[in-house]
Amino acid sequence: MSEKMKVIDVSKCTGCRGCQLACKQWNQLPAKQTKNVGTYQNPPELQPNTWTLVRFQEIKKDDGSVKWTFRKEGCMHCTDAACVKVCPSGALHHTEFGTVGIAQEKCIGCKECMSACPFEVPRYDSEKNKVSKCDLCFSRVAENLPPACVKACPTGALSFGDKADMLPKAQKRVAQLGGDASLYGDGFVGGTHVAYVLQEKPEVYVKLPRNPQVPLSVIIWKDLLKPVALLGAGAVVGGALLHYLIHGPKRPVEITEDGKKEGGN
Amino acid sequence: MTNHWIDIANSDVILIMGSNPASNHPIAFKWITKAIERGATVICVDPRFTQSAAKAQIYAPLRSGTDIAFLGGMIKYILDHDLIQKDYVLNYTNASFLVNPALKLPGGNGGVFSGLAEGKYDKASWAYQTGPDGVIRKDSTLQDPNCVYQLLKKHYSRYNTDLVNKITGTPKEKLLEVYRVYASTCKPNRAGNSLYAMGWTQHTVGTQNIRAMSIIQLLLGNVGIAGGGIQAMRGESNVQGSTDYGLLYHILPGYLKAPTASMPTLKVYNEKITPTTKEAKSLNWWKNTPKYTASLLRAHYGKNATLDEAYSYLPKLDDGVNYSWLALFDAMHKGKFTGFFAWGMNPACSGANSNKVRAALGKLDWMVNVNLFDNETGSFWRGPGMDPDKIKTEVFMLPCASSVEKEGSISNSGRWMQWRYKAVNPPGEAKPDGEIITELYHKIKALYIRKGGALPEAITKLTWNYGPAGGFNVHAAAREINGFFLEEKTIEDPVKKEKKTFKPGDPVPAFAMLQDDGSTASGCWIYCNSYADKGNLAARRNNVDASGIGLYSEWAWSWPVNRRIIYNGASVDTTGKPFDPKRAVIKWNAATKKWEGDVPDGVGDPGAGRPPFIMKPDGVGSLFGPGLVDGPFPEHYEPLESPLKGNILSAQRVNPAITHFERSGVGTALDKIATASEEFPIIGCTYRVSEHWQTGVLTRWCPWLAEMQPGMFVEMSEELASEKGIAGGDKVIVKSARGEVEAVAIVTPRFKPFNINGQTVHEVGVPWHFGWITTAERKYNRGDKKAEVFTSGDAANLLTPTVGDANTMIPESKAFMVNIAKKGVI
Amino acid sequence: MKKEMIQATSAYERFIHWLLALSCLLLCLTGVGMMYHSLNVIGVVMGGLQGIKSVHNVTGVIFLVALLLAIQMWWKEAGIFVFPEDWEWTKAAGGYLWHVDKVPEVGKYNPGQKMFFLTVALCGLGMVATGLAMWFPFYFPMEIVRWMYPLHVLGFAVIFAFFFVHLYLGTIGSPGSLPAMLNGWVTRAWLRTQHPKWLKEMEETGSLVIRDDD
C-alpha cells in the first residue's frame, strides 16, 4: 500500500467545524457538556472523545486590523512516531498507509504515549482506561474512502491522497499563497502524514510546536537505556557466575573443637 | 438567486454584504474558495469581522442598518467615474426612460419622495412620461434631466464619501477601496457577484437594500452573466420552495398575487393583476397570468367547479390589510383569533419581540404544534415567567417526520428542485407533513359535509388525488404541481413551431403550453416542466457539465424550464454576441439558428431588439423602481431604533412608509421602542453560527452541536468590555426596551467601536438559536425530554422590536438598541 | 554433631525483607515484561499486558510500603558508615574479589550491605517517585513526565544490578547466609566470618540468642 497524506490548507478553512463533527459521527464519539468561556472554540482541547478540533485564534496586526485563523488540530501521523516508539503493548502502530493506528483493545492505559508525543495528541479516558486519538479513519481509508473529516470539508481545506501526490500539491499551494505561507509537517519526525499549508508564520499559531521532534528523553530511554539495561543486567549475571567459578564462594570458617580451621579461603 | 451556487466560482469580485456564508452557508464557500483560487477578490462588509471576513481580501466595517448609505456611495462613485457598462445600461435598463417632471427626490424634499401622505405614498409623480400612443418617452442620450439616469445621478450626488463615512462609520479609504474594486467589474469580461442574506432583509429598509445592489449590478452590467447577479442565500434549505409555493400571505403559488376583496371575480382579478405594456418589443411575460391562474384553480378544484366558482372559493384578503407575520401575532395578542397551527416553526423564539409572541400564544383557545421536538412554542405555557394555571390555550403536539424520513423535493437558493429519498422511517407516531395534511383534510371535509358552515365548497370541492384516503403519494403531488391536461387539446409548441395533441391526463410539457380556458391544471406554473413527459427531472443526477461554466443542466431541475441563470438574455449584446465570450451563458449558433448553452431567457432571434428582462412589463432592468411602497430609489433612513437622534442625510429619520406598532392605537403595550436613548446606547444585532439552525429546535437537541456552541453569547469589542468591566467568559445581561437575555461575553477585537459623525457608537451581536427548553435550569416534569448536552440562555428575539420592512414586513432584527452589564451589576 | 546456632534476624525483619525482595522481584519482572516486547509473554499468567500493568502498579504500592518500613528499621544499622573500619573493608572489597589475608572486621552490616541498602532505599524511592509521575501524568508538566521514563529505567538498571549481586551473595556466593533470612538462625562460624564485630558486640552485651541444634 502507498503512503497516504492529509493536507490541511489553513488558508481555505472557514472554521465551519464540519470536520470536528464528522469525526465524532464516524467514530461514534460522545459529546460532553461544555460551556462557553469566551470563544467559539469548544471543546477547549482535544479529549478522549474529541480527536480533532478547530482552534479559533484572533491575531491583532500592528496596523490595527484583525486576522482570524482556524486551525484543525489532531494527530500528525509521524513517520518517526514517538508514541509508537514508547507504546509497550503495540497498540500504537504504523499502518500500511504510513499513518499511526491505534488498536484500542491492546492499549493498557499506561499513558506513556501522552508524554512522548511532541504534539500532545493522545488523550486518556479514565473510564475506559484507554488512550485514544485520531487514526486517520483507518476503517475508511482501508476501503479507499477519504477520512470523515476530509469528506465533510466543504471548502477543500482538507484533502487526502497518496503522499507522493499530496506533497507536491501542498508545496504548489504554498508557492501560490506566497508571503509568510509555509508547509508544515514534512521537515521533522521523519515526515508526517498530516501536513499543514500555513498562511501565517508557524510561530503565530498557538499550540503548534515550532520544531517538533521525538523527545530526547524518549531517545535516551528507548535507544540507549533499553539496550544498555539489558547489557548491564547480563553483565551482572555473568559477573556473578564468573565470580563463583573463578573466586568461589566465601565460606564461613568453622573453628572445630581442636581449634583447627575448616573451610574458609 | 438569479444564478446558482456553483456559478459563484465564475465571479471575479464577490461582495459579501448582509451575509456570512462561511458560518451560515458553509457549502457556498466551496464555490467562493474556487473563485479565490481563480484569482477573484472577495470583499466582506459587515459590522463585525466574521468568519467570511477572515477569508476576504478586503474587509470593511459598517454600522448596522447603513447599507444603503454605503451602496449609495458606490452608485455615486460608479456614476462619477463613468464606470457603467454603457451598452448594457442603455439597452437593458430603464436609464433612458423619462419620469414625470413632478417627481421630487428626497434631496430637495425633506428626505422623502413626492407623494407622501400619512405614511403612504401616492405614486402618481413617480410615473413615466408617455407619448400619445402610451409608449414610454425615452432619451437615449441620457441627457434629459428627467431621464432615469440623470435622476439617479442627482439622487446619489448627495452620497459623497465624507457623508457616507459619517453615517456608516466605514473609514473613507475602505469605502474607496471597496468602490474601486467592485466597480472594476463594469468591464464586460469581469463579473461581480453579490451574496446577501438576512443581513440585508431584516431591516426597515430591507427591500431597498437589495434594490440598491440591483442598481449597482445593472449599472455594471452584472445581471444575467456567469459569475454575476444577485444571490439571495436563503435562511433554510427550502425557503426558496416555500415562497415559490406561495407560503407568504400576499402571493399564491408561482408568485401570483393573492386576491383581495375588491376582486370579486376571476375576470376582475386577472384584469387587475395582469400587467400590460405599450412597448412594442417587450415580451411582458406576465401577460400570461390568466393561463397560470386558471391552471392553478384547475389544480385545486379540477372539474368539480367552473373556473369562476373555483375563484370564488379562494380566500380574499381585505384590501389594505396586512396579514404578515408581525401583524398576525399583533392580532393574536389582541385576541382576534382563536386557533393557530405552528407548523415546523418556533415563533416563541423566532418571532421578533418574543415576549409579545409568547404572551399572544396565551390568548389562543388552541394551538397545534407540528414539529420534530417539543419546543418553546409548544411548551410556552410553562416557560419563563408563565403561570400555567392562568393560561387557557390547549396545545396539541403532532410529531412529524424529518427531511430524511420522507421522500420529496426541496428547492434550494439557486432554484434547483432536487429530489430526495427517504433514508429511515420516522420514529414513533411521527408522520410526513403531507400525510398529516391529508388526514386533516379528510377529517375537515367530513365535518363540512356533515355540519355545513361558511363556504363549505372551498374544502369539499377540492381535488385530493394523492393516493388512497389517508395516504399521500409525493409523486402524485409533484405531477399535479407540474400540471396536466384535463381535456384533449391541440397546441402549437411555441419553440418547435409544431402542433401536438394532448389527451386528458397527459402532463403539460412546459408552462408556455398552459391554457387560460381551463383545459390545463398546474399547481405552480413556474414548476411546469419538472415532472412531464421525461419523468421526474428533479431526480436527475447527471454531473457532467457540458457548458464549461458549471451549469450542470442535467443535475436535478431548475425553475423556470431548467434555466440555470435567469435574465441570461442580458449576457449577450443586442446582436446576440456574448459580452464575455469566455464565459458565455448562451450564444447564437448562426448555422443551426439556435441558441446554445443555458436555456435562453428573454431573447428572440439576435437583432430582433427584444429587451431581455421579460418579467418586467417594459422588458428592462429597473434602475428606477416605482413598484415599491417606499420610493423609486433607495434612500438611507435610520433603523427604527438607532443611536442617532436624527438622520445625518436628511430630516426624515426613518423609512416613512413603515408601520409603527409602537404608536398608540396600532400595536400593543409590549411594542416599546427606545431610540437615541441613554438607557440603551448600544446597537444590537442578531446572527447565526454554523453549529445551530434557526431557533435551534433541530440542533440544540443534537449533543455534538450543543457541545460546540453550548449557549447564548454576546460578542463585543475590547473597548466596550473594558468600559463595562466585562471579561471574556463573564455572564452578561443584554437588555432592550422589550426584554433581556443572559449571555456569555465573548470579548473580541473583531468588533470595533464606530466613529459615527464624531460620536463613539458600540455594537454587540447575539446569536438567535437558543431557548429555555434545552437548558439545565428549567423545570422538568416526569417524561420530559432532556438534552444530552444542555445549552444556556433564551431567545435573542426577546430583545428585537416589532417593526418590519415597509414592503415585506420582515422584522428589523439586524439593528436595534440594547444595553449590557455584567450579571449582578444590573 | 552439635552445632551452635545464633539468631541473626527477627521474624519482623525477615518479613519486611521478603516483602521488599519479592515485590522488587515482581516489579523487575513485570517491568521488563512491559519494556521488552519479546518479554511480553511474562504477562500471560497475569492476563496479558493489561494485567502486567495492574500488577506492576499494585506491587509498586506494596514496594513503597515495604521500602518505607525497611528504611525505618534499617537506616540506623545499615544506613550509616562507620569509619575507619568501613573504609578499610571497602578497600579490601570485603575479600570477595581478591585474596585478602585478613578482612577488616565489620559489624552487623558490612559496607557492601550498607551500600546495597542505601542504593535500594534511594533508588527505590526514586523508582516510586518516577513511577507515580508516570502513573498520574496529568499532575505534572509533560516536559517533566517525559524524563521520568529514562530515569525509571536507569533506576531499574542500578537496582537490578545490586539486587542480583545481593541474591548471589545471599545464596551460593556466600554459603550459610541464606538461613539468616529464612529462619533467622546462623552458625557461629558464619557469623564469625561475616560479622565478627557484631558477634563480639552481642557477646559483650549478652544479647546473643543461642540454640543448640541436634
| In a shared domain, residues B486 and B381 | no
Set of chain C residues whose Cβ sits within 8 Å of the Cβ of A120: 142
- The answer for C 44-83 residues in CB contact with A (under 8 A) is 49-50, 52-53
Asked, for residue B576, whether it belongs to a domain, the answer is no
Distance from CA of C54 to the nearest CA of A (A): 9
Q: Output the domain CATH number for residue B381.
A: 3.40.50.740
Closest CA to B426 of B448, B444, B398, B399: B399
Q: Which residue has the cell 518500613?
A: C69
C192/A252 touch (CB, cutoff 8 Å), yes or no: yes
C-alpha–C-alpha distance, residues B618 and B616, integer Å? 5
The answer to whether A172 faces chain B, any CB pair under 8 Å, is: no
- All residue ranges of chain B with pLDDT < 70 are 826
Mutate to test the interface with B, among A9, A10, A68, A70 (most CBs of B within 10 A): A68
Contact B223, B570 (CB under 8 A): yes
C96/A250 touch (CB, cutoff 8 Å), yes or no: yes
- Chain A residue set in contact with C, beta carbons under 8 Å: 86, 88-90, 106, 108-112, 114-116, 120, 124, 215, 217-218, 220-221, 224-226, 228-230, 232-233, 236-237, 240, 243-244, 247, 249-255, 263-265
Mutate to test the interface with B, among A11, A12, A16, A177 (most CBs of B within 10 A): A16
User: How is A241-254 classified by DSSP, letter by letter?
Assistant: HHHHHHT---PPPE
B707/A35 touch (CB, cutoff 8 Å), yes or no: no
CB-nearest to B691 from A17, A37, A65 is A17
CB-nearest to C157 from A86, A112, A228 is A228
C142/A112 touch (CB, cutoff 8 Å), yes or no: no
Which residue in chain A is spatially nearest to B35 when comparing CA positions?
A155
pLDDT confidence of residue C182: 78
Domain boundary among B460, B490, B521: B460
Asked, for residue B473, whether it belongs to a domain, the answer is no
- Establish whether chain A is in contact with chain B, requiring a minimum of 3 CB pairs below 8 angstroms: yes
| In a shared domain, residues B228 and B261 | no
Give partners of B (≥3 CB pairs < 8 A): A
Confidence of residue A263 (pLDDT cuts 50, 70, 90): very low
| In a shared domain, residues B483 and B381 | no
Alpha helix positions (H), B605-731: 703-708, 718-724
- The answer for B 45-64 residues in CB contact with A (under 8 A) is 49, 51-55, 59
Set of chain A residues whose Cβ sits within 8 Å of the Cβ of C192: 252-253, 255
Which residue in chain A is spatially nearest to C52 when comparing CA positions?
A108
Confidence of residue A255 (pLDDT cuts 50, 70, 90): low
Mutate to test the interface with C, among A85, A92, A104, A108 (most CBs of C within 10 A): A108
C-alpha–C-alpha distance, residues B584 and B226, integer Å? 7
Interface A-C: count of C-beta contacts within 8 A: 122
DSSP class of residue B709 equals S
- Measure CA B158 to chain center: 29
pLDDT confidence of residue C205: 78
pLDDT confidence of residue C99: 67
pLDDT confidence of residue A261: 45
Asked, for residue B384, whether it belongs to a domain, the answer is yes
pLDDT confidence of residue B582: 94
| In a shared domain, residues B389 and B491 | no
A58/B26 touch (CB, cutoff 8 Å), yes or no: no
| In a shared domain, residues B87 and B151 | yes
Give partners of A (≥3 CB pairs < 8 A): B, C
pLDDT one digit per residue (tens) for chain C, 214 residues:
456 777 777 888 889 989 999 999 999 989 988 888 888 888 888 888 888 889 999 999 999 999 999 999 888 877 777 777 777 778 777 667 766 767 677 777 778 788 888 888 999 999 999 999 999 988 998 889 999 999 999 998 888 888 888 888 888 877 777 777 777 777 777 777 777 777 777 777 777 777 766 5
| In a shared domain, residues B27 and B84 | yes
CB-nearest to A12 from B33, B709, B729 is B33
Distance from CA of A63 to the nearest CA of B (A): 13
Asked, for residue B822, whether it belongs to a domain, the answer is no
The answer to whether A245 faces chain B, any CB pair under 8 Å, is: no
| In a shared domain, residues B289 and B405 | no
The answer to whether A65 faces chain B, any CB pair under 8 Å, is: yes
Residue A194 pairs in a beta bridge with: A6
Closest CA to C56 of C123, C151, C144, C156: C156
List of long-range contacts for B33-38, beta carbons under 8 Å, 24+ apart: B33/A12, B33/A155, B33/A156, B33/A157, B34/A156, B34/B8, B34/B9, B35/B8, B35/B9, B35/B10, B35/B11, B35/B227, B38/B9
pLDDT confidence of residue C187: 78
C161/A228 touch (CB, cutoff 8 Å), yes or no: no
C-alpha–C-alpha distance, residues B520 and B543, integer Å? 33
Residue B25 sits in which domain range?
5-94+145-188+200-233
Distance from CA of B51 to the nearest CA of A (A): 6
Mutate to test the interface with A, among B51, B692, B741, B791 (most CBs of A within 10 A): B51
Set of chain A residues whose Cβ sits within 8 Å of the Cβ of B33: 12, 155-157
Set of chain A residues whose Cβ sits within 8 Å of the Cβ of B703: 30-31
pLDDT confidence of residue A259: 44
Distance from CA of C39 to the nearest CA of A (A): 11
| In a shared domain, residues B35 and B172 | yes
Distance from CA of B74 to the nearest CA of A (A): 23
pLDDT higher than threshold 60 for residue A125: yes
Residue B804 pairs in a beta bridge with: B811
User: How is B550-580 classified by DSSP, letter by letter?
Assistant: S--TTBSEETTTT-SSTTGGGGB-TTS-BSS
CB-nearest to C53 from A86, A108, A243 is A108
B49/A68 touch (CB, cutoff 8 Å), yes or no: yes
Q: Tell me yes or no: is domain C11-81+110-188 CATH 3.40.190.10.
A: no
Number of domains in chain B: 3
Alpha helix positions (H), chain A: 18-27, 82-86, 112-116, 138-141, 148-152, 163-177, 216-219, 226-246
C-alpha–C-alpha distance, residues A104 and C205, integer Å? 64
Asked, for residue B101, whether it belongs to a domain, the answer is no
Q: Output the domain CATH number for residue B160.
A: 3.40.228.10
In Å, how far are A243, A250, C174 from A236, measured between CA atoms?
Answer: 10, 18, 16
CB-nearest to A88 from C49, C138, C190 is C49
- The answer for A 10-49 residues in CB contact with B (under 8 A) is 12, 14-18, 20-21, 24-25, 30-40, 42-43
| In a shared domain, residues B284 and B387 | no
Which residue in chain C is spatially nearest to A113 when comparing CA positions?
C146
Residue A9 pairs in a beta bridge with: A197
**Geometric angle at alpha carbon B199, from B194 and B201, rounded to 5°:** 90
Which residue in chain C is spatially nearest to A91 when comparing CA positions?
C49
The answer to whether B419 faces chain A, any CB pair under 8 Å, is: no
- Establish whether chain C is in contact with chain B, requiring a minimum of 3 CB pairs below 8 angstroms: no
The answer to whether C150 faces chain A, any CB pair under 8 Å, is: yes
The answer to whether C172 faces chain A, any CB pair under 8 Å, is: yes
Alpha helix positions (H), A17-155: 18-27, 82-86, 112-116, 138-141, 148-152
Contact A100, A75 (CB under 8 A): yes
Asked, for residue B383, whether it belongs to a domain, the answer is yes
A33/B689 touch (CB, cutoff 8 Å), yes or no: no
| In a shared domain, residues B89 and B171 | yes
| In a shared domain, residues B439 and B381 | yes
| In a shared domain, residues B178 and B89 | yes
Mutate to test the interface with A, among B704, B715, B774 (most CBs of A within 10 A): B704
Range list of β-strands (E), C16-174: none
The structural domains of chain C, with segments of one domain joined by +, span: 11-81+110-188
Asked, for residue B711, whether it belongs to a domain, the answer is no
Residue C211 pairs in a beta bridge with: C5
